[in-house]
Structure 1
Amino acid sequence: MIRIESGSILAAMSRLGLLLLPLLLAACGTLNMGETGRDVENVLRASVLLPPRQEGLAPRRRPLPPGTIPEVEVEVTDGPTLLVSYGRQRKVMTMIQGTGEQRMWRSDDGTVIATDGARVVATAGTETSLAATRFDSPDPLDDVTTLVEHPATARRVVDLVPAARDVDRMRFGVALECRLRATRVEEGLYVEERCGGGARFVNRYWADGETGAVWRSEQWVGMDSRPMLIEVVSPPSN
């Protein structure tokens, strides 16, 4: 018969808690929007590159590019609004915080995404949360129009945390190397971003041909074979 002392069990649980605490803080603490700079682990560091909204005019609704999630009609709201779809879920998100190009968006059920440039840099409330994004150089999506003549590369590191907080499935420091190129199409500019390294996927962006403002994108956010589709319904005023 094997005897297990209760004190030993409590000690083991205490040690496990101390080991897990830094990981959970790394995943949760990145939600601080007060941090700036692309070398900082911020959970919500992506936004849509958008021109100023013209007073009295509703945002122009463009046809959905072929091969993406079917169109969903959403009324224009009083504030900045996105339509976010992934898998079978479609959610309307409103902006709850913004500092320059860094913005945070939230749906009624509590799902949150962070944007900076045309990039989703963090999510919360999804099956797998994109907990942090770190770049070691400027993001080529900051100037989409130059990608037509000059394809570019980008290197970044991301942290992924499953909704169940399963320590064995947490992935920190996933390194990605991506190549971006753009071409002119009927809708304006089409940008394709092919990434490899710790994960392999293709991101797609549709932008205004003159301003380079991204108005729709399909982006990998850590969920296998389930890109997140982001469409601007009502853009920020600046």
Structure 2
Amino acid sequence: MIDDDVELAELMRDVLKNYSIELHAVHSPGEGFAALEANKYDLVLLDVMLPEVNGLQMCSKIRYSNAPYKDVSIIILTARTELTDMVVGLETGADDYVKKPFEPRELVARINAILRRTRAPELAAAQPQVDEAPIASAKSGVCCEIVLEGDVLQIETERAQVRMNGQKLETTSMEFELIAALAQRPGEILNRDDLLGEVHGTNVIYTRSIDALIYRLRTKIKEAGAEVDFIRTVRGRGYSLVGQVRQSISA
């Protein structure tokens, strides 16, 4: 946890301990970067109102660095209620945000939801291999494979992964939920309200947040070498995942 409110950090350490979550708290951006360099964390709770560098700037520095910690999950903690600040938090690479003051149980639920998704690949890899399993199961985790002008987009639900022409994309949990929701109904136009329910399961975030997530997904797909745009914007209606569905199975 990176928050200059020492009392809050101490309180959250005690609260989270009751849920078997170990919290390491620091109170400035400098201490935060030092802790990230020295330790491997599952998740960062990052306050927006920090001295020296605000939390949104720090989130961007973490996410777009070349450091080993660049893919750590991030939950923004903010007392701000303006929609723009919340959307910017998502645009800078946060997985989720929680508004202060918050109920500890809400924070715990958000933490656990993210950890379940980020640990899914580790849990899958840890499963014992069964000799009788068919060799052809190499694509058993692929719920959707879409081809568009030679480019191939794969969404693997078991491992919570997205691949573009075989290259794994580093997606946040919310980005994965969004593209997985689109992949469940390829070719259909889904409006922002529909996607909100699929992505977050709650109406706490706002429809404009979907636009920020779409922008990030498009950027990552393009950076992975795609020559085409798999996500189509239908003005006034929503978004659609386009292309020829070559494989669509239950993972």
Asked whether the two chains share a fold, i.e. TM above 0.5, the reply is no
TM-score (norm. length: structure 1): 0.31
TM-score by length of 2: 0.29
Structure with bigger strand share is 1
Greater share of helix residues, 1 or 2? 2
Higher relative contact order structure (alpha carbons within 8 Å, sequence separation ≥ 6): 1
